[in-house]
Amino acid sequence: MDGILIVDKPRGMTSHDVVDFIRKHFKIKKAGHAGTLDPAVTGVLVILIGKATKRSFELTSGDKEYEATITLGRKTDSGDAEGKVLSESDASKITEEDVRHVFKSFEGEIEQVPPMVSALRYKGKRLYELARKGKEVPREPRKIHIKELRIKKVEIPNIDFSVVCSKGTYIRKLCDDIGDKLGCNGYMSYLRRVRAGEFTLDKSVDMDKLKSFSRDELEGYILKE
């Protein structure tokens, strides 16, 4: 069995959990994924099966599209709702005009410092491993490209938006940076990936359905190379 399976990853599972389930449940020897999603994040997870695993680098490097929510008034050490609260502030005076002005400044090619809660390495250790121990190390800023940043709804303290971005963009850090620039802190309270490269949610299968599939039924959802 060779090809690509698009899974709508549910909240609470790691990307590895999904791959591990597919390997064991369908007795597939070779499987992997192209682009990790955090446990709290849902949406498009590209699963590579058999010979398709050789395309991992190629399929990881495409643009991503997300739907997200930033909640203003609080900064966390992870940049999301699950992190330790570092500071709180009043966001009630932030206007929609303020929000639109700041969002505009993040469009295009910008530099972003990767968050400590990431899989990047520092002296052989994953940053998230160091972060769990309460350590913070220097990180060099990286160039990323925010191709589209569209506000969908502003109801302070929450801002719903969509973003199309290059590989290596951390939406949790984007939310953190937007909060800082607004002067009131902010964290990512919701994230759903709706596209990874050419693969979209409408081609996906959810985990509940996947758990009921036979191996033959699974084949019907695999995109052949």
Locate 111 and state its tokens: 């530099």
Show the 3-state SS of the chain. CCEEEEEEECCCCCHHHHHHHHHHHCCCCCEEECCCCCCCCEEEEEEEEHHHHHHHHHHHCCCEEEEEEEEECEEECCCECCCCEEEECCCCCCCHHHHHHHHHCCCEEEEECCCCCCCCEECCEEHHHHHHCCCCCCCCCEEEEEEEEEEEEEECCEEEEEEEECCCCCHHHHHHHHHHHHCCCEEEEEEEEEEECCEEHHHCEEHHHHHHCCHHHHHCCCECC
- Distance between CA atoms of 161 and 122, rounded to whole angstroms? 32
- CA 95, chain centre distance (Å): 27
- What angle, rounded to 10 degrees, do the helices at 96-104 and 171-182 form? 120
| Amino acid symbol at 221 | Y
Catalytic residue (one of 2, 8, 17, 38): 38
Active site residue 38: yes
Active site residues: 38
